[in-house]
């Protein structure tokens, strides 16, 4: 079976002349490749977070492991487990000021919030934000940075449902933290079942948010709940951004659309139950990169590389060398 399914001619241009899909790493002991996916060009490395699994040193406590994957170049590929002090139960992440900004889901003792981590040993880390003016977050999930320096992130209630966080005390919402201008923080979108992935269009006029309400933290699923990507227009009133014109951008037919990113042409990629699905800016499903077991998240590397997180496996898809992820534009 082909690793790529084409639904529209435009996907052929994305794939290029000789697309490939290969397994880079496999770990049968625990699901090491689940979320984040942050490519560090200067080091040719990739930071990823595992799915939750029982800590073998203190069962039945659950843990999430951050790993640094040094990609093959002059040296063979290697994977190093990273143990920062202040990133409890890490999930999504993004490049930020020569380091990584992680969504720390928190646990029963530590808060949920945004944590910064350096990319070199000893991987010093610290919380930058731990509450909404004193009101605890639920369990931050994914994060993206706007060109104006503001940080946008999602906060669903998965942590409490999965037993790693106290009961949720806030709606499932998207927040904007204006780091560069006084540090104000606002809730900018609500009405989600379980808001999850987030990204901007290349011109930053649109923000995309995935809603993974189809699956709750206890593992139950319901086909009539959202498994969708919503698009919002970003407009300004009184000098501040607001989200308007909420609309259904796409519905995922396989599981849920989780992590989400754009390429520099505005095409929208999301990790789904069958791999990575790709839509045009107009919401047309162009094609799929098929990975058995699906993908929660992924990230772009250089020149059309796509690193796909598939729980026990890390895959590398080579698309057309002209394709650039919009986050790093390389």
What average pLDDT is seen over the chain? 97
Percent of the chain with pLDDT over 90: 96
The answer, yes or no, to whether residue 258 has pLDDT greater than 80, is: yes
Report the SS3 class of residue 168: coil
243, 265 Cβ separation under 8 angstroms: no
52, 164 Cβ separation under 8 angstroms: yes
Q: Rounded to an integer, what distance in angstroms lies between the CA atom of residue 227 and that of residue 225?
A: 7
| Structural domains of the chain sorted by starting position, each given as residue range(s) with its CATH number in brackets | 4-318 (2.120.10.30)
Q: Rounded to an integer, what distance in angstroms lies between the CA atom of residue 25 and that of residue 171?
A: 38
15, 7 Cβ separation under 8 angstroms: no
Q: Measured at the alpha carbon of residue 136, what is the angle toward residues 146 and 83, in degrees to the nearest 5?
A: 70
Q: What is the mean pLDDT of residues 38-48?
A: 97
| pLDDT class of 15 with cuts at 50, 70, 90 | very high
pTM of the model: 0.96
List pLDDT tens digits, range 50-104: 999 999 988 999 999 999 999 988 788 999 999 999 999 999 999 999 999 999 9
């Amino acid at each position: 079976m082909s690793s790529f399914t084409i639904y529209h001619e435009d996907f052929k241009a994305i794939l290029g002349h000789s697309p490939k899909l290969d397994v880079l790493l496999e770990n049968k002991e625990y699901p090491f490749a689940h979320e984040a996916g942050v490519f560090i060009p200067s080091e040719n490395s990739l930071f990823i977070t595992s799915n939750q699994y029982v800590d073998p040193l203190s069962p039945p406590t659950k843990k999430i492991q951050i790993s640094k994957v040094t990609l093959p170049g002059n040296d063979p590929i290697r994977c190093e487990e990273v143990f920062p002090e202040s990133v409890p139960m890490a999930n999504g992440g993004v490049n930020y000021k020569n380091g990584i900004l992680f969504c720390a889901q928190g646990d029963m003792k530590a808060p949920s919030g945004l944590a910064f981590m350096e990319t070199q040993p000893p991987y010093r880390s610290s919380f930058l934000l731990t509450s909404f003016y004193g009101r605890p977050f639920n369990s931050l999930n994914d994060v993206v940075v706007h060109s104006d320096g503001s940080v946008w992130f999602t906060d669903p209630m998965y942590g409490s449902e999965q037993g790693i966080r106290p009961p949720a005390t806030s709606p499932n919402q998207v927040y904007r933290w204006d780091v560069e201008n006084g540090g104000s923080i606002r809730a900018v979108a609500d009405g989600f079942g379980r808001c999850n992935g987030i990204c901007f269009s290349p011109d930053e006029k649109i923000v995309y948010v995935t809603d993974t309400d189809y699956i709750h933290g206890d593992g139950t699923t319901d086909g009539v709940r959202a498994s969708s990507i919503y698009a919002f227009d970003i407009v300004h009133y009184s000098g501040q951004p607001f989200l308007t014109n909420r609309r259904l951008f796409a519905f995922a037919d396989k599981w849920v659309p989780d992590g989400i990113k754009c390429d520099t042409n505005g095409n929208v990629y999301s990790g789904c139950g069958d791999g990575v699905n790709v839509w045009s800016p107009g919401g047309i499903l162009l094609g799929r990169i098929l990975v058995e077991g699906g993908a929660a998240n992924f990230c772009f590397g250089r020149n059309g590389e796509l690193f796909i997180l598939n729980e026990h496996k890390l895959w590398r898809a080579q698309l057309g060398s002209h394709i650039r992820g919009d986050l790093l534009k390389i």
